Chains A and B, each alone.
Chain A
C-alpha cells in the first residue's frame, strides 16, 4: 500500500458526460501528479499541483481540469467525455516539488470506461 488513495476504483459512464476523480496523497506529501494510462498512448503525464497551485502541465486536454484543495486532496474533472477517454487514471504524490531525492508514489488508479 503506497498510502495514496483514489476513488472511485471503477467508473462507467456515457459519452458527453462529466466525471470527477479524487485523490488523497500520502500524509505529508505536498505534490500531486495525475497520469493517464491508455493502450494506445501508454502512460502520460497530465498535470501537477504543489500545495494548491498548478505547477506543470503535460498532455492534458482542454476538456480536463484539476485542482488541489487546502487539505491537499486533488480532483481531476473530465468533461464532454469521449470513447477515447477510457483509460486508467493514476494519481501520484511526493513530498515536495524540486527536491532531488523525490520519488513519486502511485495510487491504485481509477479505471474509467466511457460507453
Chain B
C-alpha cells in the first residue's frame, strides 16, 4: 500500500524568507500524481500545486514550487517570499494513476504546520 510521510510536524519561517517542506512517499507504481494542499485555520482544503510523476520538470505556481525526485520518492514544497497568509497546515498527498481501474482517492501525509513570523 502507498504511504506518505511528512517528517516535519512544525516549521517556522520569517516573513519574506524561503521555507521548504519535506514529503516522502512509498509506492511500487511508476505513474501517479502528487499534490500539496493547504489548510488554513478556516479548515478549507486548498490545492497549492500538482505534479505528474511522468513529468521530469518540477511544477511551479507563483511563489510555490516543488522539488520532485522520483528515484528518491521525494516531493518537497518550496515557498518563496513567505507571507503571513501562508501560515497553515500543509498536506502532501499521493494519488494513483486512475487508468486501469485504479482508485482515484488521495492518500495524505500527517501534515506540517507552518508558522510565519512578521
Contact with B along A88-110 (1 / 0, CB 8 A): 10101010011110111110110
Within the complex, which residue of A45, A55, A92 is in contact with B107, where a contact is CB–CB below 8 Å? A45
Contact with A along B71-82 (1 / 0, CB 8 A): 000000000000
Structural contact, B105 and A56, CB atoms closer than 8 A: yes
Q: Given A56-B104, A58-B105, check contact A109 B98 (CB 8 Å).
A: no
Q: Which B-chain residue is minimally distant from A90 (CB atoms)?
A: B45
Structural contact, A45 and B106, CB atoms closer than 8 A: yes
Task: Assess whether A43 is interfacial by the CB under 8 Å rule.
Answer: yes
In the complex, chain A residues whose CB is within 8 Å of the CB of B110: 42
Structural contact, B104 and A100, CB atoms closer than 8 A: no
Q: Which of B45-83 contact A (CB under 8 A)?
A: 45-47, 50, 52
Structural contact, B108 and A43, CB atoms closer than 8 A: yes
Within the complex, which residue of B44, B50, B103 is in contact with A108, where a contact is CB–CB below 8 Å? B44
Q: Given A42-B111, A88-B43, A106-B45, check contact A48 B105 (CB 8 Å).
A: yes
Structural contact, A100 and B98, CB atoms closer than 8 A: yes
Cα distance A90–B44 in the bound complex, in angstroms: 9
Q: Given A90-B45, A102-B98, check contact A56 B50 (CB 8 Å).
A: no
In the complex, chain B residues whose CB is within 8 Å of the CB of A92: 45, 106
Structural contact, B91 and A43, CB atoms closer than 8 A: yes
In the complex, chain A residues whose CB is within 8 Å of the CB of B42: 108
Q: Which A-chain residue is minimally distant from B103 (CB atoms)?
A: A56
Structural contact, A98 and B98, CB atoms closer than 8 A: yes
Q: Which A-chain residue is minimally distant from B102 (CB atoms)?
A: A98
Q: Which residues of B contact A (CB under 8 A)?
A: 33, 35, 37, 42-47, 50, 52, 91, 97-99, 101, 103-111
In the assembled complex, 13 residue pairs joining A and B whose CB atoms fall closer than 8 Å, in A order, are: A2-B46, A42-B109, A42-B111, A43-B111, A44-B108, A55-B103, A58-B105, A92-B45, A98-B99, A100-B33, A103-B47, A106-B37, A109-B44
Closest 3 CB pairs of A and B: A106-B45, A45-B105, A43-B108
Known A106-B46, A109-B43; 13 more pairs at CB < 8 Å: A42-B110, A43-B91, A45-B106, A48-B105, A58-B105, A90-B45, A97-B98, A98-B104, A102-B104, A103-B35, A108-B42, A108-B43, A108-B44
